[in-house]
Amino acid sequence: MSLQQFINEAISPWMQENGPDSDIVLSSRIRLARNFEQVPFPILANQEDLDHILDFFQQEYGQQSFGNYHQFELVRMNELQSIQKRVLVEKHLISPHLVEHSNHGAALISKNEQVSVMVNEEDHIRIQLYFPGFQLEKALKQASEFDDWLEEKINYAFDEDRGYLTSCPTNVGTGMRASVMMHLPALVMTQQINRMIPAINQLGLVVRGIYGEGSEALGNIFQISNQITLGKSETDIVEDLKSVVQQLIEQERNARKRIMDQSGVQLEDKIFRSYGILSNSRIIESKEASKCLSDVRLGIDLGYIQHIPKTILNELMILTQPGFLQQYAQKNLSPEERDVRRASLIRERLKLENNL
């Protein structure tokens, strides 16, 4: 398979589009947790019940279309190889939980991969809907419409006082988790982010690095989402998140401008050194790769680098994850082999741009 072909398969079509504020907000997501009223939650349901749900989804929604989302395909976990599952996780189409815990799990995925419904994860139904850039309201509207579409045929577990009933008490109520993925290199460079995270946490929102373990944010990519799902309406939750994200965007833009004004050459040097590393290294660990990718992406946003498209950060962050590297290599790889493959994949990818 050629690299270009591989990339086309690896990057969800919706990711290729640019959304509003996409210099800082990479994507917006709405997730809704829903359950069947009559069936125990996956944690306690018996196998027949779960299989029954899978069959129901296949029958009712397989190959169906809704609005802009066409040809839903039900992908069953037990029919995939482990690398294939890992690839779906790295594309954020399914969760690690679905892979680890469920022999009866599946995902109903639209052709453009903008909608993915996890079936028999922690809850029977987890609707996920993505938009490029900063488009939370649009994502909420469409997720809600999609939810209505599913509800035409499903009796949801719902209680007037408690709202949508979920397996975990942290999701009850709206069952909604709204989140944005943000690239915040300047706030990290100026260390402002360390002051901001605790403040954001106090507002009932959660900030975490999306790649990497614990609090470390590889590639300076952060995910910001709501913590509270009960007692606030979907619109209010999204409004609150939106206002914080807007402030973060502003702060990040100011910080970028300040760094450019105060130490433009140093910044330019840092960016081009990282570009040099990416285009020349023969061995590269994911940590270094993501740091350099973040620098290069910043260089593109600030106009220092002009011949590379913006989507490179998102794209290569995903492509250089272990699952994708191994799928591209068509075999299992040791960590050292991966570092070599990663370096060569990034070099090839950058070469594609230079040849244009």
Partner 1 sequence: MECQECHQRPATLHFTQVINGHKKEVHVCEKCAYEQGYMSQNSESFSLPNLLSGLFNFDSYPMSQSKNQTSSYEAPPKLQCEKCGLTYDEFTKIGKFGCAKCYKTFGEKLNPIFRRVHSGNSVHDGKVPKRMGGDIHVRKQIEEQRQKLNHLIRSEEFEEAAKVRDQIRMLEKQMNSEQGDGDQ
Contact (Cβ atoms closer than 8 angstroms) between residue 137 and residue 242: yes
Check residue 100 for interaction with partner 1 (CB under 8 A): no
> Per the annotation, does 178 bind a ligand?
yes
For residue 41, the tally of other CB atoms under 10 A from its CB is 17
* Dihedral pair phi/psi, residue 176, rounded to 5°: -105, 135
- Which residue in the block uniquely carries the two structure tokens 């290069």? 296
What's the min distance (Å) between Cβ of 315 and partner 1?
A: 27
| Residue 70 or 162 having the CB closest to partner 1 | 162
> Per the annotation, does 341 bind a ligand?
no
| Residue 97 or 347 having the CB closest to partner 1 | 97
User: Could you say which residues in the range 169-188 bind partner 1, by CB under 8 A?
Assistant: 169-170, 172-174, 176
Check residue 243 for interaction with partner 1 (CB under 8 A): no
Is the sign of the CA dihedral 258, 259, 261, 263 positive or negative?
A: positive
Residues in the chain: 356
Tokens of 109: 């995925």
| Residue 38 or 330 having the CB closest to partner 1 | 38
The distance from CA 4 to its chain's CA centroid, rounded to whole angstroms, is: 22
Q: CA of 144: how far to CAs of 150, 152, 232, 290, in Å? A: 10, 13, 16, 34
What's the min distance (Å) between Cβ of 336 and partner 1?
A: 7
Q: What x/- string results for residues 197 through 236 when contact with partner 1 is judged by CB under 8 A?
A: -------x----------------------xxxxxxxx--
Q: Which amino acid is at 44?
A: L
Report which DSSP code applies to 171: T
> Per the annotation, does 126 bind a ligand?
yes
> Per the annotation, does 349 bind a ligand?
no
- Round to the nearest angstrom and report the end-to-end CA distance of the chain: 20
User: Could you say which residues in the range 25-84 bind partner 1, by CB under 8 A?
Assistant: 35, 37, 39-41, 43-44
Nearest one of 168, 292, 196 to 252, comparing CA atoms: 196
What's the min distance (Å) between Cβ of 198 and partner 1?
A: 16
> Per the annotation, does 62 bind a ligand?
no
| Residue 140 or 271 having the CB closest to partner 1 | 140
Check residue 287 for interaction with partner 1 (CB under 8 A): no
The only residue of 165, 200, 255, 345 in contact with partner 1, by rule CB under 8 A: 165
- Which residue in the block uniquely carries the two structure tokens 């300040």? 258
CA–CA distance, 275 with 270 (Å, rounded to integer): 9
The only residue of 2, 198, 303, 335 in contact with partner 1, by rule CB under 8 A: 335
Binding site, annotated residues for ATP: 27-31, 92, 126, 177-181, 208-213
Question: Which residues of the shown chain bind partner 1 in the complex (CB under 8 A)?
Answer: 35, 37, 39-41, 43-44, 122, 144, 147-148, 151-152, 155-170, 172-174, 176, 204, 227-234, 335-336
